[in-house]
């Protein structure tokens, strides 16, 4: 198609020229990058193990009574001072020598009632509670064994996976698919503006074929989305969060973006006015995102597995998604003129 390149360039330049849009993209990138960093930071904040590992927080426990709990506390990196009575321990706590007190009384009928004295400050006692959860659980398992109950799989260690899963199953797919959402919205604005300003009629009469114009516009939007995805990958890498299979991840993002943009193009050509198209588009996007959670293969879970470096997904899984895309592009190509000629 001659002229396609010219339209692509023109559209890209017009988008770039409009400083506000570039600025908006920058703002969005900035804010979103902050929010992702904040969320990741928060997750590790709430992740008790990483608090123990990352923070220079050194806790000292006062333990009243003999029990294996002292050993479990030491294993968790908490210093232990033994006291004979709760009173002594409390004096030490008020003097600031220890951070909290675990007062144990001899088990009665297999039940151990323990008293935990925490500081008044909410934030501090929250951190303490999080840090001693693991030693307490170990002690609980010990008592269970004493009661004749065997708890299985206690030897498992591993690394806390919450942050890891959160990052790859939520943040990465979100970052990679969000630009697609914006591109779709942009195409609707751009096409419905042309229709509403009646400039589409002029374009249709020009020597450049209609599809060249449309494909140029869609191409520019897809291009912008992919640029954003690449920026995301770089930004994450700067935060030392690496996406595996980068090429495949970007390829999948490209396919989904193309699907969304061509789809939104069809929607705006059908409805012709901005408000209705945007509305239908938003509803469809939300429905599609929701439905894809139940789908298999779902682009979201495929994205997550690719980015994680899961060994059982590869180019073939990605290629599968080109089939619906090809169908959609064909429909777009064949139906564009008729759709636009139709009365709204």
- Residue burial 39-65, b: 16+ Cβ < 10 Å; e: rest: ebeebbeebbbbebeeeeeebbbbbbb
Backbone angles phi, psi at 153, to 5 degrees: 55, 30
Listing DSSP states for 89-105 in one string gives: HHHHHHTTS-SEEEEE-
Pattern 215-254, another protein, x by CB under 8 A: ----------------------------------------
Q: Which C-beta is closer to another protein: that of 54 or that of 330?
A: 54
Kindly tell me which of 187 and 254 has the beta carbon lying closer to another protein: 187
Size of the site for another protein (CB under 8 A): 101
> Which residue's CB is nearer to another protein, number 149 or number 330?
149
Residue 198 within binding range of another protein, rule CB under 8 A: no
CA distance 267 to 281: 7
Tokens coding 101: 């007190």
Binding part of the chain for another protein, among 42-50, 202-210, 322-330, 333-341 by CB under 8 A, reads 42-50
Q: Which one of 190, 209, 245, 336 is in contact with another protein (CB under 8 A)?
A: 190
Q: Which residues of 266-276 are buried (b: 16+ CB within 10 A; e: fewer)?
A: bbbbebbebeb
Give whichever of 116 and 288 is closer to another protein, judged by the CB atom: 116
Using CB under 8 A as the criterion, what x/- string covers residues 57-96 for binding another protein?
A: -------x--------------------xxx--xx-xx--
Cβ-based burial of 17 (10 A; exposed 0-12, middle 13-18, buried ≥19): exposed
Q: From residue 97 to residue 116, what is the string marking binding to another protein with x (rule CB under 8 A)?
A: ------x-x-xxxxxxxxxx
Does residue 125 touch another protein according to CB under 8 A?
yes
Smallest CA-to-CA distance from 324 within 249, 268, 269, 262 is with: 262
Q: Is 141 helix (H, G, I), strand (E, B) or coil?
A: helix
Cβ atoms of residues 64 and 84 within 8 Å: yes
Residue of the chain from 6, 13, 16, 38 that contacts another protein (CB under 8 A): 38
**What are phi and psi for residue 154, nearest 5 degrees?**
-80, -10
Q: How many residues does the chain have?
A: 344
Q: How far apart are CA 76 and CA 80, in angstroms?
A: 11
| Residue labelled with tokens 């300003």 | 197
Residues in 133-172 that interact with another protein by CB under 8 A:
133, 136-137, 139-140, 143-144, 146-149, 151-153, 155-161, 164-165, 168-170
Q: Which of residues 5-34 bind another protein (CB under 8 A)?
A: 18-21, 23-25, 27-28, 31-32, 34
**Binding segment toward another protein, per CB under 8 A, in 127-135, 205-213, 228-236, 331-339:** 127-135
* CB-based contact 229:179 (threshold 8 Å): yes
Instruction: Using the minimum distance from each CB to another protein, give the nearer residue, 2 or 122.
Output: 122
Residues in region 307-336 near another protein by CB under 8 A: 308-312
Distance CA 58, CA 295 (A): 47
> Does residue 301 interact with another protein by CB under 8 A?
yes
Q: Would you say 44 or 322 has its CB closer to another protein? A: 44
CB of 134: closest distance to another protein in angstroms?
A: 9
Nearer to another protein, 186 or 328 (CB): 186
Q: What are φ and ψ of residue 69, in 5° steps?
A: -55, -40
């Amino acid at each position: 198609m001659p002229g396609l390149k010219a339209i692509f360039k023109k559209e890209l330049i017009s988008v770039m020229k409009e400083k506000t849009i570039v600025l908006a993209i920058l703002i969005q990138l900035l804010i979103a990058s902050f929010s992702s960093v904040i969320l990741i930071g928060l997750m590790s904040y709430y992740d008790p193990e990483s608090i123990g590992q990352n923070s220079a927080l050194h806790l000292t426990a006062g333990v009243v009574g003999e029990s294996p709990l002292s050993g479990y506390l030491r294993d968790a990196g908490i210093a232990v001072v033994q006291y004979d009575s709760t009173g002594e321990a409390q004096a030490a706590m008020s003097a600031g020598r220890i951070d909290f007190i675990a007062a144990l009384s001899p088990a009665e009928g297999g039940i151990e009632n323990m008293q935990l004295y925490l500081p008044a400050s909410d934030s501090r006692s929250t951190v303490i509670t999080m840090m001693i959860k693991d030693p307490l659980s170990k002690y609980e398992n010990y008592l269970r064994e004493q009661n004749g109950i065997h708890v299985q799989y206690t030897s498992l260690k591993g690394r806390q996976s919450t942050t890891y899963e959160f990052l790859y199953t939520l943040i990465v797919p979100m970052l990679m698919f969000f630009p697609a959402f914006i591109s779709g919205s942009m195409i609707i604005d751009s096409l419905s503006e042309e229709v509403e300003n009646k400039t589409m009629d002029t374009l249709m009469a020009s020597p450049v074929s209609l599809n060249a114009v449309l494909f140029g516009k869609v191409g520019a939007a897809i291009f912008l989305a992919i640029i954003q995805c690449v920026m995301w990958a770089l930004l994450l890498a700067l935060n030392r969060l690496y996406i595996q299979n980068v090429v495949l991840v970007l390829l999948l993002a490209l396919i989904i973006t193309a699907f969304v943009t061509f789809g939104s193009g069809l929607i705006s050509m059908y409805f012709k006015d901005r408000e209705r198209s945007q509305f239908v588009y938003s509803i469809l996007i939300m429905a599609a995102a929701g439905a894809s959670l139940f789908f298999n293969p779902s682009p979201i879970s495929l994205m997550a597995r690719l980015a994680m470096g899961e060994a059982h997904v590869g180019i073939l899984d990605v290629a599968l998604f080109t089939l619906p895309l090809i169908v959609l592009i064909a429909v777009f190509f064949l139906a564009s003129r008729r759709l636009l000629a139709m009365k709204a």
